[in-house]
Amino acid sequence: MDHTKEVKCVVWDLDNTLWNGTLLEADTVTLKPGIKEIIIELDRRGILHSVASKNNYDDALKKLKDFELDQYFLYPEIHWNSKSSAIGNIQKNLNIGFDTILFVDDQPFERDEVATVFPDVETVDANFYADLPYQKRLQPKFSTEDSLRRRMMYLEDMTRTRDEAAYTGPKDEFLASLNMVFTITEAREEDLQRAEELTVRTNQLNATGRTYSYDELMAYTHSADHRLYVCELSDRYGSYGKIGLALVELTTDAWHLKMLLMSCRVLSRSAGSILMTYIMQQARHEGKRLLADFRPTDRNKMMYVTYRFANFRELSNDGDGNIVFENDLTQLQQFPPYITLHYPEMLYRNDR
C-alpha cells in the first residue's frame, strides 16, 4: 500500500514494544529508552496515541499510570481478541481513516494480521520505534493551537459522549444543556494554518476533497471576489476548535461555493447544515443565485446527501464526477434552536 497521508494516530502494542518484558511474567517491566519522550513529542504535534495489547486490562492500565503515560492513550484496547479487532474499534471511536493509523508491534504475526485485515494501516516493527519522530508522515506541516489541544479535545468529547449516553431525557434537551455556541467569521491570517490543516485532514465531510495551501488561502482572504469563512464550536465542556471552512466565489449573479468542509467530530451537532444555512441566507439577502461544487471521493458520499437534503439540485455534471449544484433558495433550513450563533460583522454585509 502507498502510505502517504499524515498519521493521525499511533497505536502501540505494550509488551516488548512500549516496554521491555512481558507484564504477565514480571511486573518489573521497564520503558524502552526514550519512548516516553517520543510519545510526548508526537502528542505535541497533534498526533494521537492508543493501545492494542493482549494483556490484562487492569494490570496494563496500572502500569501505564505508574509510567505516567495513561493520559496519552485514547480508547485503549487491552484484551485477548485479535489486534485487527482492536484497531477496528480504535478507528471507529476516533472516527478517522484507517490510512491515517500507524501500528507499532514487535511481533511479525500481529503486524501481518492487521495488515491483512486493514491494508491501509501502516505497520512498523517495534525495533524501529526511535525513528518515528523523523518519519515524514509524523511531521505535520503546521503546529496550530488546535493541534496542540487535539488530545484534550478528544478527552472532552469522550466526556460528552458518556454524559449523553447516560442522559434519560429527550435528545434536544441534552443538546440544549450543552450551551453550544457556533461562531462564523471571515478567516484571518492567524486562522490560515489551521484552515490548511483542515483541508488536508478532512475527508468524510469535504464536498470536493480538494486541499488548499496556506498561500492559496491567503490569496482568497485578500480577494474582493471571494469570502473565506471559518467556524468554531464550543460548549460547556470546552472548545471543539476550528471545525469548518467555506470558500465562496462572488460573481455578478451568484454566490458559488467552491469549498465546504466540516470536521467529522461535530457531525452529530448539525454543524455542516448551520454553515450552509448561513451562506444560503447571505446569498438570498443579496439577491444572488447559489451554486455549489461537488466532486465525489471514496469517503464523502455524506456531503452529496447533505446537499440534496438542503434542496440543492444538479445543474451540471461533466461526466468525470465534477458536479455543480444549484439552490433556488426558496426553502431554507432553520438553525437548530439549541445552538447560539455568533457571526460578528458579517451578517447581511453589502460593503464589497
CA-CA distance, 13 to 227, in Å (whole number)?
A: 46
| Weakest-pLDDT range from 81-90, 325-334, 340-349 | 340-349
- Which pLDDT tens digit goes with each residue over 257-272? 999 998 877 766 777 7
Name which of 13, 164, 236 is nearest 103 in CA terms.
13
- The mean per-residue pLDDT over the stretch 251-256 comes to 94
CB 270 within 8 A of CB 262: no
Rg from Cα positions in the chain: 22
Confidence of residue 216 (pLDDT cuts 50, 70, 90): very high
Distance set, CA 343 to CA 129, 194, 275, 293, 330 (Å): 46, 19, 10, 24, 23
Unique residue bearing C-alpha cell 508522515: 137
- The mean per-residue pLDDT over the stretch 117-122 comes to 97
pLDDT at 105: 98
CA-CA distance, 130 to 35, in Å (whole number)?
A: 7
- The mean per-residue pLDDT over the stretch 28-43 comes to 96
- The mean per-residue pLDDT over the stretch 8-20 comes to 97
Q: And the C-alpha cell for 154? A: 478528544
pLDDT at 344: 62
- The mean per-residue pLDDT over the stretch 286-303 comes to 90
Confidence of residue 2 (pLDDT cuts 50, 70, 90): low
pLDDT at 10: 98
Please determine, for residue 119, whether its predicted confidence score (pLDDT) is greater than 60: yes
- Which pLDDT tens digit goes with each residue over 126-169? 999 999 999 999 998 777 788 888 899 999 989 998 999 999 99
What percent of the chain lies above the pLDDT cut of 70?
96
Mean of pLDDT over the chain: 90
- The mean per-residue pLDDT over the stretch 190-216 comes to 87
Residue ranges of domains in the chain, CATH in brackets:
9-138 (3.40.50.1000), 145-342 (3.40.630.30)
